[in-house]
Amino acid sequence: MVSIIFWDIQGNRIEDTLPDEEQVDILHSVTEVLPDAPVILRELRKVAQTDILKLHQLGQNHFFVFDATMSDGAHYIVRVARFSDPTELSYLRDKVQRECEILKWMGSLDALPVPKLILCDATSSSPPFMITNKCEGIQVIYGFGTLSEGAKMRNLRSFARFAIAMFQAKCPQQIGSIMRFSSNSESTRNSESTNVEIGPVVAYRKTETPSQCFSSAQEYIRWLIACKQNRANSIANVKPILRRAEAIFAQETKRQDEEQLRCIPWHGDAVSHNILIDSSGEITGVIDWEFHMILPAYLAVDYPSWITYDGLQDPKFFPTTGQFSPFWPTSKQEATTLRQKYDEIVKKLDHAYYLSLKKGQIARLIMQWLIADEDRECEKLGNWLDSLSMSR
């Protein structure tokens, strides 16, 4: 049992316990879940050069996710793409291959605790899969609330190192997602022997995949707006709201200097469920890179999501119709204090990063509203834009 502390949408502090997960070994029955498993597990035995002792299923959302315990005690994570429609296979192969490439790239950067890619088969296997080592730790969403004040500060410093390493990475100056990565050196710090090729954005939805990279943030936002309109039941109702959002985004973009417009890598799903920490607050793993992009710095940098109460994460605008009840691992007051502490940390470490963080906040929040699948009729976005106008 793990003790957890969180705050609900009304701001109430709640103490609870996280029950221990039932570790059911499905090694000899895995074909009931995944008929193709024997072929994939045979590949795991080859690369690990040892036998599999146990196999536990961790999840099955976009991927089947398994934790394989080997006879030598090592753990590997096996992620297998899920699909029911054969027409999705090409899209999934591309997405898995690109995630493998971003893992290779991020794994070569200093200070990035990403899973080490062991094997990727996105072309010959059906379904496509990848194998990585296992990052130990607990998800931030469950572990942060019980940390001491010192451990929380250590967590912010750990995130800052991770974020600034990405900020300093050299990459192509277009908006898209990685296609291929290669390097002849152990570190990409100076990037002299690094090759990063990018292609169109890996979209959250197959039907919204763009045909090419974007040359500017404004072009990217117009594409997001078109996607948002297509998901709405009434285009007439959402158009005025989206026009307002686009106009404000354009104003905010004009405020940016060259350094904030420089493109850098972005983890498109760096939420508290995808960041692992140890008991000291140190980040031990940044996982699930399937949705990533190359974006202008003012859109790519951000505060740790677990100390955020802005935009979509503001309880006033948070979607209340969903499978899960929303909760935060910090109170609103403490989150404000921790963001101020984060400002102090990054301002000392990299002033250019700090400026991108501060100057891009409004534009970044607009981008997040447009990406989100929630609020399809843009009612909450409209209310948020109203609150933004009132606060200026």
Give how many domains the chain has, as a whole number. 2
Q: Return the closest-CA partner of residue 67 out of 134, 12, 128.
A: 134
Q: Is the dihedral of CA 240, 241, 243, 247 positive or negative?
A: positive
Partners of residue 64 on adjacent β-strands = 60, 80
Residue 25 confidence (pLDDT) = 96
Question: Diameter of the chain by CA atoms?
Answer: 63
Q: Do residue 214 and residue 249 come from a single domain? A: yes
Cβ–Cβ under 8 Å, residues 353 and 210: no
Q: Do residue 142 and residue 96 come from a single domain? A: no
CA distance 211 to 30: 38
Q: Do residue 48 and residue 182 come from a single domain? A: no
Q: Do residue 149 and residue 38 come from a single domain? A: no
End-to-end CA gap in the chain: 46
Q: Do residue 78 and residue 152 come from a single domain? A: no
The total of other beta-carbon atoms located within 10 Å of residue 326's CB is 14
Q: Do residue 56 and residue 106 come from a single domain? A: yes
Q: Do residue 309 and residue 190 come from a single domain? A: yes
Task: Tell me the CATH number at 234.
Answer: 3.90.1200
CA distance 197 to 223: 22
Q: And the tokens for 310?
A: 């802005």
Q: Do residue 154 and residue 213 come from a single domain? A: yes
Residue 185 confidence (pLDDT) = 59
Q: Do residue 101 and residue 114 come from a single domain? A: yes
Task: Tell me the CATH number at 46.
Answer: 3.30.200.20
CA distance 12 to 35: 45
Q: And the tokens for 242?
A: 């989206």
Q: Is the dihedral of CA 144, 148, 149, 150 positive or negative?
A: negative
Residue 190 confidence (pLDDT) = 47
Q: Tell whether 7 is covered by a domain.
A: no
Range of the domain at 47: 18-133
**Residue corresponding to tokens 């931030």:** 140
- 3-state SS class at 160: helix
E strand segments, the chain: 2-8, 13-18, 52-60, 63-70, 75-81, 117-121, 129-133, 138-139, 177-183, 194-199, 263-267, 275-277, 283-286, 292-296, 327-328
CA distance 384 to 374: 14
Q: Do residue 183 and residue 98 come from a single domain? A: no
The helix (H) or strand (E) run that includes residue 28 is: none
CA distance 249 to 323: 31
Q: Tell whether 12 is covered by a domain.
A: no
Q: Do residue 271 and residue 361 come from a single domain? A: yes
10-residue mean pLDDT series, the chain (392 residues): 92 92 91 95 97 96 95 97 87 94 92 93 89 97 97 99 96 96 63 80 86 97 95 88 98 97 97 96 97 98 97 86 75 98 99 98 98 90 92 73
Q: Tell whether 2 is covered by a domain.
A: no
Cβ–Cβ under 8 Å, residues 114 and 107: yes
Residue 189 confidence (pLDDT) = 47
Q: Do residue 123 and residue 168 come from a single domain? A: no
Q: Are strands 63-70 and 13-18 parallel, antiparallel or unpaired?
A: unpaired
**Which residues are CB-neighbours of 160 under 8 A, at least 6 positions away?**
342, 345, 346, 349
Q: Return the closest-CA partner of residue 330 out of 65, 60, 4, 3.
A: 4
Phi-psi region of 296 (alpha: psi -120 to 50; beta: other; left: phi over 0): beta
Residue 391 confidence (pLDDT) = 78
